[in-house]
A = this chain, B = another copy of it.
């Protein structure tokens, strides 16, 4: 007798339930190899099902190798290997992945263990998030975007489900070229490569240039992800300190002369983490120094479009007469990170090389999200969204700066007012001799921040923290600053208290 307990109220289709039950009977040994199952007709009658439901289930069981089917005879259970033991925490194999991994890969794991788990999961409640550089989801035009994605799938048809070119979707490349033009960069579509976000662009550039002993100039502090990535690719970093006006160009000049770096990596606009944007003169001198040394510049314009205070300096790439600048842009910091779409603008020859490297490691980017984004841009939704982001963050940043000024005593901290973007780099003054663990202190008061030392190779800076307002509205910002002020006032009160009684 052959009994299957099916549940016709379950959301799982009945044919799938049959498959699961029969599989379980076979795996448990209840049904043995060679044993015959009822015919399709018989089982359908027994269970009160349509014959096609049973036929579909048997077809799938056959294709999974559980049963054999021959015309004119009932299906029977196939000889089948036993399944290897289940995994999970306890399962131990004979390989030691730590020992097998290369040195550079171990560096990446160590970094991941230190920092990788910081990103708050979606919808997590907890402290107010001034740590992440995600975008406030409430501002994203989800319905418009969905309409565009639909339209793109309808218009382009199954072609969008095929492999595409490693350079990316041509219409989007054309749109981005036009967009770069608005920032003063005269790029053509051939000079644009679509990437899986700015970090992916950086990785491709490093893949192109990596060779033993090569060095890369970075600002210090710099984008946290880039430091382990440089080491992974075998580069040594040359850290050039950030001053109030940007990277110290005298130090850079000496490094270019004495250390022959292969690349200068820089964020001239809304530098991460300091928020500094360099001026025209700084940009021109940087270009001239690197041009003379014939060293390419990787310009990370991750927040280029967030110039909502209108104090505009154009990207290095716009003045790149020598064509030494590789520009990395992204849609992650204005539209949304979740698309994982960015771009590189560079010489066509350089673009083709990066495309070859992308192809070797993942063939091509998905066309679907590219076509959806193109539709979003083509309809003017991107422009409208950008304006909304500008209006909103002009207000939010103004509020942030006003509240910081009002509630944080100059005895506790100091900061520079950014020209746009999402970041404020706060220099905290110690209360007494010992520097507290700032991340811990603020977390205890319900605010997540990123400690400054994360942005240095050496990790030596214990006086700064990075505040991001990218996911917060004005009420949340006000509450976060209130909490920060409370933490700092408490700290400094304890200090003076301690002094009084010491």
Contacts and interface: CB of A to CB of B under 8 A. Distances in A.
B162 A338 contact: yes
A105 B209 contact: yes
A203 B362 contact: yes
A350 interface: yes
Contact of A308 (B63, B190, B324, B336): B63
Given A134-B163, A182-B23, A319 B122 contact: no
Contacts of A225: 360, 363
Contact of A357 (B80, B85, B105, B320): B105
Interface in A284-312: 291, 294, 296, 307-308, 310, 312
A356 B324 contact: no
Contact of A116 (B196, B313, B359): B359
A322 B102 contact: no
A273 interface: no
B368 A338 contact: yes
Nearest to A366: B340
B186 A159 contact: no
A428 interface: no
B191 A87 contact: yes
A137 B145 CA distance: 25
Interface string A331-374: 01000111110000001111011011101111111111100000
Nearest to A137: B158
A103 interface: yes
A352 to B, nearest CB: 8
A109 interface: yes
A434 interface: no
A224 to B, nearest CB: 11
A184 interface: yes
A166 B291 CA distance: 37
Interface of A: 12-13, 16, 23, 56, 59-60, 62-65, 68-69, 78, 80-81, 83-89, 91-95, 97-98, 100-105, 108-109, 111-113, 116, 119, 121-123, 132, 134-135, 137-138, 140, 142, 145-146, 149-150, 153-154, 157-166, 181-188, 190-191, 196-197, 199-200, 203, 207-211, 214, 225, 228-229, 232, 262, 280, 291, 294, 296, 307-308, 310, 312-314, 317-324, 332, 336-340, 347-350, 352-353, 355-357, 359-369, 380, 383, 386-387, 390
B87 A188 contact: yes
A337 B365 CA distance: 10
Nearest to A16: B380
A471 to B, nearest CB: 9
B162 A357 contact: no
Contact of A186 (B84, B359, B386): B84
